[in-house]
Structure 1
């Protein structure tokens, strides 16, 4: 069972896939239960992610559902093997919300990460000083020791991008660059860091200019994730006052994939974005 009886993001992804393939095969849960010699309740809990599927169960079900694609089978078997895998971030779990843990797990598994951020520099680009300033400015009191842990988690999230473990694209509204929400010194250093990270082969940073008009207000911040060799969106997270929501329904994934394409088409090209960021950095330096 996933830790604490709560579905992990990996067990939920696996369960969702098994349910979709069962529906495609026009089988019901009692029939699936017969295939793995288990109860219908177990199949239900497998598909909801509350129980971790064993690899042999995954293989038997995929055989019965007619799923023969080796890449699909390998991916789902890997999810079964690692659904209870203890990630580095769980060392800090006492200070993190469960929904934030889900977000980090998605980042850790992803091959493609795309983010839209109209207000703040995304966490995967934040300097420690920027992260500390933003967290401290939040609506609730954060004890110094907790703040330190949260900043460390932010740095840990950036390791995968730094090592080239995923392709990362960030689109920022121009206001994020031109209107500091922190001190000028912290903001200048943050801009320099964005330029530096943006030079990596696996990273693309684009700026949505003010000239794009109301498009920037069409949707709040979100992140999308792909887990295969192709950048097909398989999960989306939304940030809000109460935490982070994970979307996995096909219609939601399509809507946010289309939205990201609109934002990317309206954004400045990476080179032009870098020039804008560099110009803003220089102007702040001169002041």
Structure 2
């Protein structure tokens, strides 16, 4: 059973994949249960992520479903092996919402991360000073100790792209870089940091200009995640008033993948985006 008795991101991904393969060959859950000499209830719990199958069970089910692709099998076996794995972020669990933990787990596994942010600098790009300022300014009182922990977690998340193992693209609406929500000094430092991170080979920063029209206003912040060699979207997270929601349904994934493509095609190219940010940074320095 996943740690804590609730589905983990990894166990849900594994269960969803196994369910899709079962349905593709028109197996009933009872038939799958026979394959692994178990009960229909266990298959149901596996497919919802509430139970983690053993590697041998995954192999037997994939054999029964006719899935012979070595990469697919290796991916699902790996999910079975590591679905209960404790991530570094669990050291800070007392300070984190469960939905935030799910988001971090997706980041940790992803090979491609794509983000759209119409209001704030994305967490993977935030400086400690910016992270602290916006956390302090968020609705509701947050104790100083917890603020410090949240900033520390945000910094730790950034190691994922610093290590170069993940391709990361962020599209920012123009107000994010032109209309500071923090002090000018903090905003200036943040813009300089964005330019520096944008030099990494695995990082792409684009700005969606006001001239793109209403496109920037039609979607709230979201992130997409891919876990293979190709950037096919396999999970989406949405920010909302209640926290972060994870979407994994095929129709949702297609809708947000299409939305991201529209945003990216309407955004300034990376070089043009860097020039815009450098120009804003110069003007802030001149006004100082």
TM over 0.5: yes
Distance, in Å, in 2 between the alignment partners of 1:205 and 1:151 is: 22
> Offset of 1:3 from its aligned partner?
1.2
The answer for the alignment partner of 1:179 in structure 2 is 179
The answer for the alignment partner of 1:7 in structure 2 is 7
Instruction: Output one character per residue of 1:16-36: Cα deviation in whole Å (capped at 9) or x when no partner.
Output: 000000001110000000000
> Offset of 1:241 from its aligned partner?
1.0
> Offset of 1:46 from its aligned partner?
0.4
The answer for the alignment partner of 1:163 in structure 2 is 163
Distance, in Å, in 2 between the alignment partners of 1:156 and 1:241 is: 24
Q: Secondary structure at the match of 2:17?
A: helix
The aligned runs of 1:235-250 (5 Å cut-off) are 235-250=235-250
Distance, in Å, in 2 between the alignment partners of 1:125 and 1:241 is: 22
Instruction: Output one character per residue of 1:15-68: Cα deviation in whole Å (capped at 9) or x when no partner.
Output: 000000000111000000000000111000000000111101100000000001
Aligned residues between the structures: 287
User: Is 1:79 matched with 2:79?
Assistant: yes
Distance, in Å, in 2 between the alignment partners of 1:2 and 1:96 is: 18
User: Is 1:43 matched with 2:43?
Assistant: yes
Gaps of 5+ in 1: none
> Offset of 1:227 from its aligned partner?
0.1
Q: Secondary structure at the match of 2:238?
A: strand
Distance, in Å, in 2 between the alignment partners of 1:269 and 1:152 is: 32
Q: Secondary structure at the match of 2:138?
A: coil
Q: Secondary structure at the match of 1:119?
A: coil
> Offset of 1:208 from its aligned partner?
0.1
Instruction: Output one character per residue of 1:132-181: Cα deviation in whole Å (capped at 9) or x when no partner.
Output: 00010011111111111000000010001001020000000000000000
Distance, in Å, in 1 between the alignment partners of 2:155 and 2:132 is: 11
Q: Secondary structure at the match of 1:206?
A: strand
The answer for the alignment partner of 1:232 in structure 2 is 232
The answer for the alignment partner of 1:142 in structure 2 is 142
User: Is 1:53 matched with 2:44?
Assistant: no
> Offset of 1:4 from its aligned partner?
1.1
Q: Secondary structure at the match of 2:115?
A: strand
Distance, in Å, in 1 between the alignment partners of 2:27 and 2:121 is: 46
The answer for the alignment partner of 1:269 in structure 2 is 269
Distance, in Å, in 1 between the alignment partners of 2:130 and 2:192 is: 12
Q: Secondary structure at the match of 2:158?
A: helix
The answer for the alignment partner of 1:97 in structure 2 is 97
Instruction: Output one character per residue of 1:59-84: Cα deviation in whole Å (capped at 9) or x when no partner.
Output: 00000000011110000000000000
> Offset of 1:256 from its aligned partner?
0.4
Instruction: Output one character per residue of 1:178-221: Cα deviation in whole Å (capped at 9) or x when no partner.
Output: 00000000000000000000000000000000000100011100
The answer for the alignment partner of 1:222 in structure 2 is 222
Distance, in Å, in 2 between the alignment partners of 1:3 and 1:31 is: 28
Q: Secondary structure at the match of 1:232?
A: coil
Q: Secondary structure at the match of 1:121?
A: coil
The answer for the alignment partner of 1:25 in structure 2 is 25
TM-score (norm 1): 1.00
Post-superposition, which runs of at least 4 consecutive aligned residues in structure 1 deviate over 3 A? none
Gaps of 5+ in 2: none
TM-score (norm 2): 0.99
